[in-house]
Structure 1
Amino acid sequence: MDDFEVSGKSVFVRVDINTPIDPHTGVLLELHRIKEASFTVRHLNGSRIVLGSHQGRVGREDYVSLRQHAKALSEVLGRPVKFVEDVFGEAARTAIKSLKDGDILLLENLRFAAEENFEFTPQEAVKTHLVKNLTPLFDLCVLDAFPTAHRGHPTIVGFPEVLPTCAGYLVAKELKSLNRVVATSKAPYTAVLGGSKVSDRLEAINALIANGRADNVLLTGLIGLVFLRAVGVLKHPLSGDLEKYVPKAAALYHEHRNKFHLPEDVAVEKDGERVEVDVNEVAESDKIYDIGEKTVKKYSKIIKSSGTIFISGPPGAFERKGFEKGTDELLLATASSLGTSIVSGGHLSAALERLGVKDWIDHVSTAGGALVMFLAGQRLPLIEALARSAKRYRAGLT
């Protein structure tokens, strides 16, 4: 970013301020990613800054407007952050054109625009309505969304094809730190995977095992339930669309059976209280919100004997009172281990802050899937987009 003169320029900054949302109140649970995004914004002095980010996924409770994010970012920065309830339509374009040097504008949730929910090749992304409508309004693009680096969305791979593009400070810092941590990592490698993004976790398991980065795979959260169903421990169908992932989980388990460790017990809610039951005693009506004590002890023992621990996604619904135990205990085990530790995802970053052990972890990232793909040696569209843009910039073609 230091290679560009930004004063007096219109700059699009792709950030990732996708933040955990309280399912009951709809308010932001923490501000970690918003605080991280503020660093690059502070260094774009004298420019007209247009910020773009997604929030949640279609159909989920966290698929909400970014209006409250704008207010939170304004408080973090100590300066006004304008908000427009539009992505690339007339309202958005008018708001961008009306900016003065030093102004900051946050666009509406990028995924409210259909195109940002799909992945494209760079050549296809350039043709999207989003990129075509906004490109004439910008002089520079800054990519500072490492948590979304593994996705080929239009704002990630499209703008860098038609605008001078550079990495933001957060992306540069993340890559520098990760390269250092990876260089010192050692076997045995243990991956602790949880959270609610089952498709991402299946992709992660495949990549980590294929690249020798997972000697032990400890499963929690929804992905743990999918595998318990796949091996026949859970007899009843899973809720929502989870059942469709069972065949793939079964294939992975049978191919790499010796690497997987599944929950032995879980915590369910009964009459508003936490009750622990063995996995083979779970009733179809039970609402599972965490792993149980036996599983915590088994997983903690494996974690503490590992050379490298990678944990991504909370083991349970830690935002529910009484169901934070699995998340807290496994994070504490990771923090107190002698191995190289990497904690991934905004939810776990928030939990580490709450526990006061963030400084005990070798690398903490708000990225989830992108970090997994990086550790597994996979291509990241955002990094490739930056490389192509840099090559054109150096050749004087932009």
Structure 2
Amino acid sequence: MGWKTLDDMDLAGKTVLTRVDINVPMEAGRVTDATRIQRLVPTLADLLAKGARPVLLAHFGRPKGKVVPDMSLQPLVPALEEAFGAPVVFVADCRGPAAEAAVAALQEGQILLLENTRFHAGEEANDADLAAEMAKLGDIYCNDAFSAAHRAHASTEALARLLPACAGRLMEMELKALESALATPQRPVTAVVGGAKVSTKLDLLGNLVAKVDNLVIGGGMANTFLAAQGIDVGKSLCEHEMTGTAKDIMARAEAAGCTIVLPSDVVVAREFKAGAANETVAADACPADAMILDAGPAAVAAISAVLEASKTLIWNGPLGAFEIAPFDIATNAAAQKAAECTKAGTLVSVAGGGDTVAALNQAGVAEDFSYISTAGGAFLEWMEGKVLPGVAALEA
């Protein structure tokens, strides 16, 4: 752990530039899901309790360096005030005279929200001049936006190098969870990787086979691996052009002592719709006119046995077409087994990625995992073994 936390900083009376992710869904000017805002509460509560003056830096949408009124952060003020239990003052810029005046006028117990950082082209360009203008506004930099840490932007990377810097509570929690899962895990380590395409998770699979003991592959990706073994997968979603890559990953796994777990039986149907007529067949017996839409009961039993024998689990992606019943059965059952082992104290379980969070919520077990990351791209890039600029800047 080469980064500082809020506990390492003298915060009393200091203006703390706090990078947050409040890129939340909105409808008719109101926040429809405040999960990301709620997860910032520990950091803001700490800052206020220690006498700091928090100044929030955040992006919203993709305005591409232009002022887009529909992407202003001002409509978020009521949701922030409700979550933080403190008055939130808004200023229509994140640099310059207006921002400087707002910081100077900020009272103890108040929070200042600066306008969308992406209204400036220099944000996504990681512009040093923009970062320097932002740095003028504060004494300390705190990054609590792990979900934006894979971006080298002015407010996530350049700014962190200009002020004494630390991780906020959410960032700290995220980094500790991921470190315990991949950097210094208790073994055996199992990774569950699902989803539609091998091509989108090549780097991930390549990194994991060298680091985990078991790699469970599900979803459409599993079909590509089955096809690589010469199995006919009928009309299933399958990247036939990636079978050579799948063979290479299997060879690398074997060389690294990593066991790849593919479904031994599958649930097939002729149409992709809720309640479609379906049957369970051996993985190598998919009818030519059918498609594989879920892992079968024998596959679930095998995955459950692997989870029971594991000490650490990293999960990214569903095992089947979990969005529609009855093709959510394998994902739900495996998730429930992981939650059961976690509650029993035998498994540390870390999960992340949009579909994954949705699937675990649907299975009713999100609260039972050790840690669920709300960061999509950053979580994936961490699992891929990539350096995240926002984290590297804190370590520097």
- The letter of the residue matching 1:215 is N
Could you tell me how far apart the structure 2 residues matched to 1:261 and 1:178 are?
25
Aligned residue in 1 for 2:203: 203
Q: Distance in 1 between matches of 2:394 and 2:165?
A: 7
- Report the Cα distance in structure 2 between the residues aligned to 1:260 and 1:39, rounded to whole angstroms: 39
Q: What does residue range 101-180 of structure 1 map to in structure 2 within 5 Å? A: 101-111=108-118, 113-117=120-124, 125=126, 127=128, 129-180=129-180
AA aligned opposite 1:256: I
8 Å CA contact 1:135, 1:162 repeated in 2: yes
Q: Report whether the alignment pairs 1:252 with 2:245.
A: yes
Query: Which of 22, 26, 34 matches 2:37?
Result: 34
Following the alignment from structure 1 to structure 2, what is the Cα–Cα distance between the partners of residues 31 and 281? 44
- The C-alpha deviation readout for 1:227-258, integer Å capped at 9, x for no partner, is 899999687999xxxx9xx96x5553131247
Which protein is bigger by CA-based radius of gyration? 2
**Contact 1:81–1:106 at 8 Å: present in 2 too?**
yes
Could you tell me which residue of structure 1 aligns to residue 58 of structure 2?
Answer: 53
Could you tell me which residue of structure 2 aligns to residue 379 of structure 1?
A: 387
What is the SS of the residue equivalent to 1:191?
A: strand
Q: Are residues 320 and 106 of structure 1, via their aligned partners in 2, closer, same or farther at CA, if it must alter by over 3 Å?
A: farther
Following superposition, the deviation at residue 64 of structure 1 comes to: 5.9
Deviation for aligned residue 1:91: 6.1
Q: Bigger CA drift: 46-55 or 229-238?
A: 229-238
Residues 190 and 164 of structure 1: is their aligned pair in 2 closer, same or farther, counting only changes over 3 Å?
A: closer
TM-score scaled to structure 1, two decimals?
0.68
Evaluate the alpha carbon distance shift between residue 357 and residue 233 of structure 1 in structure 2; reply closer, same or farther with a 3 A threshold. Answer: closer
Report if the CA contact (8 A) 1:264-1:295 is conserved: yes
Structure 1 equivalent of residue 371 of structure 2: 363
Q: Which amino acid aligns with 1:292?
A: L
Tell me, yes or no, if the aligned pair for 2:177 and 2:350 is still in contact at 8 Å: no
> Percentage identity across aligned positions?
32
| TM-superposed deviation, 1:141 | 0.5
SS of the residue corresponding to residue 342 of structure 1 reads strand
Map 1:306-317 onto structure 2 (within 5 A). Answer: 306=307, 307=310, 308-313=312-317
Measure the CA separation in 1 of the matches of 2:203 and 2:191: 16
Residues 333, 57 of structure 1: alpha-carbon distance in 2 compared, 3 angstrom cutoff:
farther
1:3 corresponds, among 8, 27, 32, to: 8
- Partner residue of 2:306? 305
1:325-372 residue CA offsets vs partner (Å, 9 max, x unmatched):
665444223223465422224664566567553454233333444445
> Is 2:132–2:159's contact at 8 Å kept on the other side of the alignment?
no
Q: CA RMSD in A?
A: 4.7
Structure 1, unaligned runs of 5 or more? 119-124, 284-290, 389-398
Alpha carbons 1:304, 1:334 under 8 Å: kept: no
**How far apart, in 1, do the equivalents of 2:287 and 2:191 lie?**
23
The one of 332, 337, 341 equivalent to 2:336 is: 332
> Which residue of 13, 19, 23 corresponds with 1:14?
19
Check conservation: 2:300, 2:333, Cα contact below 8 A: no
Tell me the CA shift for residue 89 of structure 1.
7.0
Which whole-Å deviations, capped at 9, do the CAs of 1:6-55 have from their partners, x for residues lacking one?
33332211123444x48x98975543332221111111123332222345
Q: Where does 1:163-312 land on structure 2 (aligned, <5 Å)?
A: 163-181=163-181, 183-187=184-188, 189-194=190-195, 199=200, 201-209=201-209, 211-213=210-212, 215-220=214-219, 249-250=242-243, 252-257=245-250, 259=260, 261=262, 265=268, 270=273, 273-275=274-276, 281=289, 292-294=293-295, 298-299=299-300, 301-306=302-307, 307=310, 308-312=312-316
Encode CA deviations 1:97-140: one digit per residue, 9 max, x unaligned.
Answer: 5533332133444445445446xxxxxx352x531332222221
Match of 1:392 in 2: none
